[in-house]
Structure 1
Amino acid sequence: MAGLKLDIFFAFLLYVSVVSSPACCIARLVDQLNYKASSCKHVPLFVFGDSYVDAGNNNYINCPEINRANYFPYGESYFEKPTGRFSDGRTMADFIAEHANLPLLPPYLQPGLDDYYDGVNFASGGAGNLEETFQEYHVLSFKTQIGHFRKVVQWFINKLGNDEGKKAISNAVYLFSCGGNDYLSPIFSPFQKHLPYSDSEYQELVFGNLTQHIKEIYDLGARKFAFMNLPIMGCLPAMRIYKPETNGSCYEEMSSKTRTHNQALSRILFELSNNLNGFHYSLFNLVGTMRKIMNHPKKYGFKDGKSACCGGGRFRGIQNCGQDENFELCESPEDYMFWDSYHPTERAHQTFADIMWNGSSRSFISMVGPYTVEQLFQIEVAGNTNPIDYIKNTSSSSQKYFD
């Protein structure tokens, strides 16, 4: 009976608006009513970052083939065609969306896209925290991605009105994968090979930009952030063959930068959570998870944790997957942690996303915190500032995971 009265009320409200309001106001009211009818625990997901979560934005920008994934065999395992994802199938962002009962999020640059109720993917392969990172590839930098997000915020406000639009933005979850390219670009980019900075000075630049970007997104209304630390950079198949004198071992210089970055990321997020009202975050220990699989692949359901499924040369560390006739392709990508010389397989992405979502895997203990991503989706934000009705991951302290 209560539901019937509510339906009658909404119908009456719509009738009054139709006879007394201009067409633009009527359209907004219809959007608001439709949104309210479907928004019971409906939480959008917005994705920022690099090729680990790119859904295909690089398909629509003028970047070279090496920085796109819109050709065979990319996408073969799930989509049976290339989509622009740097994997044989879905990515962590896709699996998180599925866990949240959302559709796979489209890339922001997809032509004709005009609906953002469920969220959208801004990520771009090659992007970094620094504007200069791989800019010769014309990638969408973190700063550019935030510019696109500003337009989406305005879209929500235009569609739902100021209060409901801001509430939707504040209740959304924001997923980030960013930082690795800031350390790869000085190695491979001719524009960054001779930077006048020490390692510590360069990292300060990276984190200065990252902190600024997080605060910008926070100022636009975001309150629930999901991060992952850097992957196992020094042990990527491409890095194992970068220095021949290492004889296939991990590249220690890159591993050292990864450790320093990840320690700083943990500290900075902890500080932001103490200084920004309503800032809640999840940090996934991606490097630790990858190290476990690399060292004991069979224990975690893989057969190979060091070599790529697709590529050339030793460890298939040459990044030529699908790009020339000399590339090699394994028979079973699900047996490998790495799809190509830099990126995980769909199977690995699913493993990572499952841990991020609920942190309940007995094989990967203490790899996410202080919240799981599932808990972030459960947090309800009143207006655009005050969090209510949430469950903290009380089994851990805020910095327990982030070494």
Structure 2
Amino acid sequence: MMVALTYCSAIFILLFAFASASPTAIETHPRLFNKIYAFGDSFTDTGNTRSASGPAGFGHVSDPPYGSTFFHHPTNRYSDGRLVIDFVAQSLSLPLLPPYKYLKGNDSFHGVNFAVAGSTAINHEFYVRNNLSIDNTPQSIQTQLLWFNKFLETQGCRGEETKAQCKAAFDDALFWVGEIGVNDYAYSFGSPISADTIRKLAVASVTGVLQSLLKKGAKYMVVQGLPPSGCLALSMSLASVDDRDDIGCVRSLNNQTYVHSMALQASLQSLRRQFPEAVIIYADYWNAYRTVIKNPSKYGFRERFKACCGVGEPYNFELFTVCGMSSVSSCKTPSEYINWDGVHLTEAMYKVVHDMLIEGGFTHPPFSYLLDMKRHKG
């Protein structure tokens, strides 16, 4: 940490870095894909971190009440239940994705989840060089690409001489790149590094990884933008009450993630021109989330900003007393809350976001276009 950062600021960085729909029926599609490969941060991580290795400030993900809604026990997901990627798998008639770091036997037959909580878009070495390193979360999206390459080797895909094995690994595969980049802004909070610099480096890094996947053989890809991070309980509790936008969230942070997502969309358009045979879908997390915040009752939510699991007023969130600690309890009806622990979302909200992305028109082109292309191309 830079000397100029106060202890409280450091804690803010640590906590902020780690960015359901009760179990209702899920609309399913015929199995057009045999496997999913997922990437991202804690919003997509299905178990690559545990309490011992999870992000500082949220090192209790292996403890109740995490996982209480659907699984009825902690699964190292940063929620009370399933995440967007879980609902995606179920809607495509596939099993839930196993985390890469804890694969067992034939777990990977229907795909692998490489997302890991605390991940950055920019390589960790950038933060080391700028004295912003948080050593317990050194993974970036480049790390996940390395993991994916190692996984390919286990499938017999090692280059030109193993084309058949590589084709098998990529055939009928959906690549789902969950949101990643919020942690980069959090790491650089309070430092001389500008948000513009972070955005340019982060988008370039993600674009490079996507380009590598497409060159390797990815044909069907969904890339999520960033959510409006200014609507999280953590952000609301720390920002000035004067820093609010039209929906009551933190204006400065929401503007930051909006500009980031616009830059990402421009980059995806460039990739579409470079890889015309691939189907690249942008998932508009920002507008989907905002739509819910504007009219929460329409989606079954009573609480827009309060965390379900936490302590403290007015947002049921405190920096030093977080969900999973023995002294912290959760609300009785998580499905009425958008926010789970102050930084991550409830299963109910992840389910709503999934529905908006897959069925509700918040992807560009529509997700149905991707499905139609898969049907036609086989």
TM range (shorter): 0.7 to 0.9
Deviation at 1:66, TM superposition (A): 2.6
Counterpart-to-counterpart distance in 1, 2:243 and 2:265:
32
User: SS of 1:98's equivalent?
Assistant: helix
Deviation at 1:325, TM superposition (A): 4.6
Superposed structure 1 runs of 4+ greater than 4 Å apart: none
The 5-angstrom pairing of residues 281-360 of structure 1 reads 281-313=280-312, 314-318=314-318, 320-359=321-360
Q: Which of these residues, 239, 251, 274, is aligned with residue 243 of structure 1?
A: 239
Unaligned ranges ≥5, structure 2: 1-30, 128-132
Checking the alignment, whether the CA contact within 8 Å between 1:321 and 1:328 is kept in structure 2 is: no
> Which sits farther off after the overlay, 77-86 or 316-325?
316-325
Structure number with greater CO (CA < 8 Å, separation at least 6) is 2
Partner of 1:46: 37
Partner of 1:91: 83
Deviation at 1:138, TM superposition (A): 2.8
1:79 and 2:71 are equivalent in the alignment = yes
2:377 aligned partner, one-letter code? D
Q: Which of these residues, 123, 127, 130, is aligned with residue 115 of structure 2?
A: 123
Checking the alignment, whether the CA contact within 8 Å between 1:67 and 1:137 is kept in structure 2 is: no
User: SS of 1:238's equivalent?
Assistant: helix
The 5-angstrom pairing of residues 324-403 of structure 1 reads 324-359=325-360, 366-372=361-367, 375-377=369-371, 379-380=373-374, 389=377
Partner of 1:206: 202
2:185 aligned partner, one-letter code? Y
The 5-angstrom pairing of residues 41-190 of structure 1 reads 41-59=32-50, 62-63=53-54, 66-68=57-59, 69-110=61-102, 112-132=104-124, 135-157=134-156, 162-163=163-164, 165-177=166-178, 178-187=180-189
Checking the alignment, whether the CA contact within 8 Å between 2:323 and 2:341 is kept in structure 1 is: no
Number of residue equivalences: 332
Q: Which has the higher helix share?
A: 1
CA shift digits 1:196-231 (9 cap, x unpaired) = x33322211111111111111212211211122111
Deviation at 1:380, TM superposition (A): 4.1
Structure 1 length-normalised TM: 0.75
Relative to structure 1, the CA distance from residue 158 to residue 202 in structure 2 (aligned partners, 3 Å threshold; closer, same or farther) is closer
User: SS of 2:49's equivalent?
Assistant: helix
Larger radius of gyration: 1
Counterpart-to-counterpart distance in 2, 1:337 and 1:328:
17
Counterpart-to-counterpart distance in 1, 2:282 and 2:335:
25
Checking the alignment, whether the CA contact within 8 Å between 2:288 and 2:357 is kept in structure 1 is: no
Counterpart-to-counterpart distance in 2, 1:61 and 1:370:
40
RMSD: 2.6
Counterpart-to-counterpart distance in 1, 2:107 and 2:325:
38
1:117 aligned partner, one-letter code? F
Counterpart-to-counterpart distance in 1, 2:275 and 2:107:
30
Counterpart-to-counterpart distance in 2, 1:250 and 1:355:
21
Counterpart-to-counterpart distance in 2, 1:371 and 1:171:
19
2:310 aligned partner, one-letter code? G
Deviation at 1:271, TM superposition (A): 1.6
Counterpart-to-counterpart distance in 1, 2:332 and 2:261:
34
Checking the alignment, whether the CA contact within 8 Å between 1:224 and 1:376 is kept in structure 2 is: yes
Relative to structure 1, the CA distance from residue 321 to residue 170 in structure 2 (aligned partners, 3 Å threshold; closer, same or farther) is same
User: SS of 2:151's equivalent?
Assistant: helix
Unaligned ranges ≥5, structure 1: 1-39, 188-192, 360-365, 382-387, 391-403
Partner of 1:260: 259
Relative to structure 1, the CA distance from residue 341 to residue 209 in structure 2 (aligned partners, 3 Å threshold; closer, same or farther) is same
Deviation at 1:54, TM superposition (A): 0.4
Counterpart-to-counterpart distance in 1, 2:152 and 2:64:
35
Partner of 1:222: 218
Checking the alignment, whether the CA contact within 8 Å between 2:51 and 2:62 is kept in structure 1 is: no
> Which sits farther off after the overlay, 161-170 or 337-346?
161-170
User: SS of 2:135's equivalent?
Assistant: helix
Checking the alignment, whether the CA contact within 8 Å between 1:45 and 1:175 is kept in structure 2 is: yes
Counterpart-to-counterpart distance in 1, 2:236 and 2:105:
40
Relative to structure 1, the CA distance from residue 242 to residue 217 in structure 2 (aligned partners, 3 Å threshold; closer, same or farther) is same
Counterpart-to-counterpart distance in 2, 1:131 and 1:100:
32
Checking the alignment, whether the CA contact within 8 Å between 1:50 and 1:128 is kept in structure 2 is: yes
User: SS of 2:101's equivalent?
Assistant: coil
